[in-house]
Each structure stands twice: as C-alpha cells, then as structure tokens.
Amino acid sequence: MMPMRFLSFDFSSFDACVLRMLALARASLGPWLGAFAALLSLPAMAQMPQPPEIAARQYLLIDLASNQVLAEREADVQTDPASLTKLMTAYLVFNALRDNKLTLEQKLPVSKRAWEERIGGGSLMFIDTTMQPTVNELLRGLVVQSGNDAAVALAEAVGGSLDNFVTMMNRQATVWGLKNTQFKNVTGLTEPGHYSSARDVAAVAARIINEHPAQYALYSIRQYSFNNIKQDNRNMLLGRDPNIDGMKTGYTEAAGYCLVASAARDTPAGSRRLLSVVLGTNSRQARAAESQKLLNWGWAAWDAVRLFEAGKTVSSVPIWKGDKAEARLGAPGTLTVTVPKGEGDKIKTVIERTDPLLAPLTAGQQVGSIKISSAGGTPIATVPLVALEPVGLAGIFGRAWDAIRLWVK
C-alpha cells in the first residue's frame, strides 16, 4: 500500500496573491463602484412627461407664458413651409400698419402679377385687376382664405416690388436669428431654396401674437366672403376647442399638411398660451387631430407656476459706498415657469450675485442671476438678477468709511 502524501501549500504566498487580486479589482472597479454609490445617493429625479406619438415629420410645442419648449421632434430640420410662409408676409404688413405706412381703409390696386397667382393653382382670394380692395379686405383674404393673390398685392404695397419684399422677409429672419429659414417668395409655393423649420415658424407666429395682438384676432375668423365667394378658414380646430383662437394652415405636395395652432387658458398663474407646430402630416384631418393631441397633452401634463412679479423684491442685500444701506434686487419682469404636473411646489431657486455689491446702481442693472431648477435638479430657467431701483453714491466720508471696512473685511 502506497503511503499517503499530503500536498504542502505556502499559505503566506496564497494570502499575498489574494491581496494582490483584491487590489487589482479595487483599482479597476473602484470608479464604477463609486459612481454607482453616488447614483444611489442622488435625490429621486422627477420623471419628465413623455409626449404622445405624433404622426408628423416635425413638431414643436411651446408654452409662450414661460417661453419653454415642452416637446419637439426634428424642430430644426429645414423643410418646405408651404403657406406657413404667409406668417412672415403678414407680420411685415402688420408692421407697416403699426408704422402708419398703410391704413386698413386704404385701397390698393391689383397688379397683373397678383392676378396671375390663379395660374399657379394655390389658394386664392379671387381678386382681379379691375378691383381696388382695401387693406382690411386683403388681410382677411391673406389670413382667413390664405390667398396667394392677397399676399402678392399686400407685398407689393409694402415693399414696392415682390423682390424687395422678399428681401425684407429674409432681413427680418436674419435679425431674429432664424438660421433655418430662407424665403424665395411671399406665398409659400414650392421653390428651390425656399425653406424653414418648425422652430423658426413658431418664432414668427409668436412674434405676431406678442407684438400684434389686435391683428392676431384675424386668425380666429372662421369664414370670409369676398367677390361673392365664401370660403372657410382651413384651420379645422377653430370651433372645436374654445381655447384655440388661431393660427395658420399650409399644404403643398412637398410639405404635406401643416398647421400652426395657438390656444390660451386662464390659470391660477395667469393667462397661459400654448403654441404648436405640426409639419408633414398626411391629411387635413390628421394635421388637426395631431395638433389637438399635442395641445391637450401640454395642458394635461404641465403646470404653469408664477414665481416672481414685476417689481417684487426677491432679495435685499447690503450695498457698499451707496446712499442707501441696502439694494432691492429682483427679476426684470414677471417670471412664469412651466413644470411637470404636480411639481410646482418643489421648484428650487438659487441666487448668484456679485459680492461685494458696490454703488452706484441703475434701475434694471444686472448684478447676478436667478437659477431655477426642478426638484431633481433639472435646470428650468436662468434669468437676470437686477437692481429694482437706483442707488447713488454716498458722500465722500461714507465712501471712505466703506473703503476702510472693505479693506478690513
């Protein structure tokens, strides 16, 4: 019988090996373990509302009360804007009325060029060269009936020529920083080099709403008759939803069916307006339905919260070398933010300001910023922190005393 042999093992070497393996594991996994531990220590992040599925190539939803984008898809993609082009056409005409370059009662001639728009097969007001419609009539033809002939007649009156008016359109787009817009005509008929985007279209629409509220009312008119021809506004949402009071439809084969829709409601935070842009749907019914779906989600999933009133003090802080002991600081105007439903009481605000604060200050002078974030830390908005009233310089002895105090500090 063979004698039993026992394997000998150097446990000191084994311990050293294990220690080396643990050290290597700690070195390689340490950053991951640390990140995991940090993640577990974070406060619970609020789930951002997810928009419904929208059957459109591009879309955008903005809360104009806070100027926040609530949902978007390919909003900066350049695309054929179709008759949404006429938003810029109308904006420049509204400017001309504001600047007294036109009057609503003024009669305008109808050029052969305007009459020839009926050859192109687009939307028409049905004016001809024997007529002299008023600016008021032409605006209804432009806004309600989406008349290409009305667009040309008004553009010629404001710009002197179509080419000059198109130059004005592009100049305005450049001033506003619309990087994905270029106009080649005033009507929106498909043409090489004529394009815009959902975001840029929304910017023009918002300008009309904010700067020309009286003229914006034209977009709520549901029907208009001219030359014994009655035409309905193609915005099918007018009358369906009492909150919707505008704005513009568009269609070409290249663009598909498009709709800009605007809706307003009174809320505890004040009047709230949503603006939707839906591009590239497959029918009139679809553009209306998808726009309604997007707007309904905007009302249901989000709340507007009024944080600061214009002129209300947010913080009073010591000011050095001034003729007052403290400076009243606040936001430059009323501040409203849009947050996921139910998150309004969890908003966080952080004030960052210049320190020390030195006189003199002028009313409205920025001295810092107010940063607003959600409960989970997601940035919502950053607005300037400004002086709400002027603060002059103290006398020579007051300035000298504060200089000494600052030096000691």
Residues 251 and 353: their CA atoms lie apart, in Å, by: 50
Find all residues with CB under 8 Å of 210, minimum gap 6, and list them: 64
The alpha carbons of the chain give a radius of gyration, in whole angstroms, of 31
**CB of 165 closer than 8 Å to CB of 206:** no
In 161-303, alpha helices (H): 162-175, 198-211, 213-216, 284-301
Please give the single-letter amino acid code of residue 180: N
How is the chain split among helix, strand and coil, in percent rounded to 5? 35, 25, 35
**CB of 259 closer than 8 Å to CB of 234:** no
Both structure tokens of 393: 């310089």
Both structure tokens of 76: 């900066």
Active-site residue numbers?
83, 86, 146
Q: Which of 359, 357, 379, 377 is nearest to 368 (CA)?
A: 357
Q: How many CB atoms within 10 Å of residue 353?
A: 15
